[in-house]
Structure 1
Amino acid sequence: MIEFLNALVALTNFVIIPATAYGAQLALGALGVTLIYGILRFSNFAHGDTMAFGTMATILFTWLFQSVGISFGALPTALLALPFGIAVTALLVLGTDRVVYQFYRKQKAAPVILVIVSMGVMFVMNGLVRFIIGPEEERFADGARFIIKARDFKEMTGLSEGLALRSTQAITIVTAVIVVAALFWFLNRTRTGKSMRAFSDNEDLALLSGINPERVVMITWVIVAALATIAGTLYGLDKSFKPFTYFHLLLPIFASAIVGGLGNPLGAIAGGFVVAYSEVTITYAWKKVLTYLMPDALDPSGLVQLLSTDYKFAVSFMILVIVLLFKPTGLFKGKSV
């Protein structure tokens, strides 16, 4: 029984908690992608770098607050800076829409044209972020580092395996639940949210009903900016901030949105956790867990790892290919890609 509990703690410590936190981050990122696709009808390849810009803005405000002695006690100061980061990012994406996307929208350009345009915006944003804050890794988490420490857990339970829960992981999960609940309430209960859903379902009918398309576009970009900034900041707090990391995150984020059903918010959330758990379980070395569960004579000699962590994004790619081949509308029947 003790060996089973040790295995369960190890599984929770190295798979369940990290995958849940990572899945929440991917889900928030995928929600931004799926809103753009569902309402504005194109795949926004600049979303990863929008996350990078929002995180950078939050970091700069965090440093500003810290320089004048403002903190958030046991919680990261970045949570205080987050609304300011969202505001700056919203101004950026609204300005980008006005300068770039609006022209193609009025011309009724094909979605593939908007995809190519978004790739250009992606490179500009990436260069802007690296120009402002630099390409190096930044860590901006302060406050309490752990809610549960492995050593304290061992002393409390008497187990040989310790459980550690970082404050950033708990913050990620709680924040994601609040944000998702608020978003679904907004989309389903408010007049503005219902007009966005109507515009997504049938643009011509929505226009005949008196819905202002430019207002829908503006609100969509503001929500996407908020989701991108929150997702990026949570990822940066949980791990670290580096501009190119967010460029690489674009693949698992798109995989999450497509797996769940591109254009379906509920699917984006489910897809985020599917991709996260797949990445973590496939790249985790299962030797420790199996050593607890199997007889001594059958103890594994190797790491029992299907793929190295260096190839974790390959997992997202494989999932993406499989879904596109066999179920292109996703698990929740989003719009066909």
Structure 2
Amino acid sequence: MTDFLNAFIVLANFVLVPGIAYGSQLALGALGVTLIFAILRFTNIAHGDTMAFGAMITIFVTWALQAAGVSIDPLPTALLALPVGIAATAVLVLATDRFVYQFYRKQKVEPVMLLIVSVGVMFVMNGLVRFIIGPDDQRFDDGERFIISARTFKEMTGLAEGLAIKTTQGITVVTAILTVAALFWFLNRTRMGKSMRAYSDNEDLALLSGINPERVVMVTWVIVAALATIAGVLYGLDKSFKPATYFNLLLPVFASAIVGGLGNPLGAIAGGFVIAFSEVTLTYAFKRVIGYMVPEGLEPSGLVQLLATDYKFAVSFAILVVVLLFRPTGLFAGKNT
């Protein structure tokens, strides 16, 4: 029984807890992608760099607060800076919509044209972030590092393995739950949320009902800015901030949205956890887990790892391809347009 518990703790340390935290981050990112697709009807390739921009602004404000001696220990100071990051990102995406996307929207171009335009916006945002903060890793976390450390867990239980849960992982899960709950309350309970859903379902009928399309677009971008910034900051706190990482993160975020059903918020959440656990599980070395589960002397000599961690994003790509081939609407039926 003790060996089984030790095996479970190892699995929790390196698969379950990281998978839940990473899945929460991907779910928030995928929600932003799916809202743009459902309401504005195009695929926003610049979403990953929108996350990077929001995280970058939050980093600068965090550094300023830390320099001024402001702290909310044991929590990271970045939580205080987060609203400023959201506001700055909202200004950026609203300006981008006003000076770029609005022109094409009025021309009623095909969605693929807006997708191509968003690629250009992505490169501009990526260059802007790299120019301002640089291409190197940046860390902006402070406060208590662990909710529970491996040493404390070992002392409490007497087990050979200790469960370690980082504060940033706990913050990620709690923040994701609160954010998703607030988003669904807004979409289902408020007048503006219902207007956004109506606009998404039938644009012409919504216009005939007196819904202001420009206001819907503006509110949608503000919500997307909030989701992107929160996801970007949580990812940066949990790992580290590097502009290139957010560029690469676009693949698992889009895979999450498409696997769940592009245009379906519930699907985005489910897809985030499917992609996260697939990446973490397929790239984890199960040698220690199996070592506790088999009789002594039968422990595997190799790492028992299906894929090296360098191929983590390849897992997202493979799942994306399979879903597009066999179930293009995703786990939940998303929009097909």
What is the CA deviation profile of residues 211-267 of structure 1, one whole-angstrom value per residue up to 9, with x for unaligned ones? 000000000000000000000000000000000100000000000000000000000
Say if 2:123 is the partner of 1:86: no
Distance 1:65 1:235 in 2: 20
Distance 1:129 1:70 in 2: 25
Aligned partner of 1:274 in structure 2 is 274
Aligned partner of 1:69 in structure 2 is 69
Say if 2:231 is the partner of 1:231: yes
Distance 2:187 2:335 in 1: 18
1:275 offset after TM fit, Å?
0.2
Q: Structure 1 length as normaliser, TM-score?
A: 0.99
Distance 1:175 1:12 in 2: 21
Aligned partner of 2:14 in structure 1 is 14
Q: Secondary structure at the match of 2:333?
A: coil
Distance 1:336 1:289 in 2: 42
Aligned partner of 2:286 in structure 1 is 286
Q: Secondary structure at the match of 1:336?
A: coil
1:335 offset after TM fit, Å?
1.6
Aligned partner of 1:332 in structure 2 is 332
Mind listing any 5+ residue stretches in structure 2 that lack a counterpart? none
What is the CA deviation profile of residues 174-233 of structure 1, one whole-angstrom value per residue up to 9, with x for unaligned ones? 000000000000000000000000000000000000000000000000000000000000
Q: Secondary structure at the match of 1:240?
A: coil
Which amino acid is the alignment partner of residue 239 of structure 1?
K
Q: Secondary structure at the match of 2:82?
A: helix
Distance 2:257 2:336 in 1: 12
What is the CA deviation profile of residues 136-179 of structure 1, one whole-angstrom value per residue up to 9, with x for unaligned ones? 10000000000100011111111001110000000000000000
Which amino acid is the alignment partner of residue 64 of structure 1?
A
Aligned partner of 2:309 in structure 1 is 309
% identical aligned pairs:
77
Which amino acid is the alignment partner of residue 88 of structure 2?
V
What is the CA deviation profile of residues 257-313 of structure 1, one whole-angstrom value per residue up to 9, with x for unaligned ones? 000000000000000000000000000000000000011232111000000000000
Which amino acid is the alignment partner of residue 47 of structure 1?
H
Aligned partner of 1:132 in structure 2 is 132
What is the CA deviation profile of residues 79-107 of structure 1, one whole-angstrom value per residue up to 9, with x for unaligned ones? 00000000000000000000000000000
Stretches (4+) displaced over 3 A: none
Aligned-residue CA RMSD in angstroms?
0.6
1:336 offset after TM fit, Å?
2.8
Give runs of aligned pairs for residues 160-239 of structure 1, distance below 5 A.
Answer: 160-239=160-239
Q: Secondary structure at the match of 1:144?
A: coil
Distance 2:294 2:73 in 1: 45
Aligned partner of 1:147 in structure 2 is 147
Distance 2:190 2:7 in 1: 47
Distance 2:103 2:295 in 1: 67
Aligned partner of 2:59 in structure 1 is 59
1:64 offset after TM fit, Å?
1.0
Distance 1:294 1:193 in 2: 54
Aligned partner of 1:245 in structure 2 is 245
Which amino acid is the alignment partner of residue 332 of structure 2?
F
Aligned partner of 1:323 in structure 2 is 323
Q: Secondary structure at the match of 1:200?
A: helix
Between 148-157 and 175-184, report the one with greater CA deviation: 148-157
Which amino acid is the alignment partner of residue 315 of structure 1?
V
Aligned partner of 2:38 in structure 1 is 38
Distance 1:321 1:198 in 2: 31
Aligned partner of 1:299 in structure 2 is 299
Q: Structure 2 length as normaliser, TM-score?
A: 0.99
Between 63-72 and 31-40, report the one with greater CA deviation: 63-72
Mind listing any 5+ residue stretches in structure 1 that lack a counterpart? none
Distance 1:90 1:312 in 2: 31
Distance 1:2 1:269 in 2: 35
Distance 2:70 2:218 in 1: 32
Aligned partner of 1:114 in structure 2 is 114
Distance 1:27 1:21 in 2: 10
1:73 offset after TM fit, Å?
1.6
Say if 2:49 is the partner of 1:49: yes
Between 296-305 and 265-274, report the one with greater CA deviation: 296-305
Distance 2:294 2:332 in 1: 38
1:66 offset after TM fit, Å?
1.0
Which amino acid is the alignment partner of residue 230 of structure 1?
I
Between 289-298 and 48-57, report the one with greater CA deviation: 289-298
Which amino acid is the alignment partner of residue 88 of structure 1?
A
Which amino acid is the alignment partner of residue 167 of structure 1?
T
Aligned partner of 1:28 in structure 2 is 28
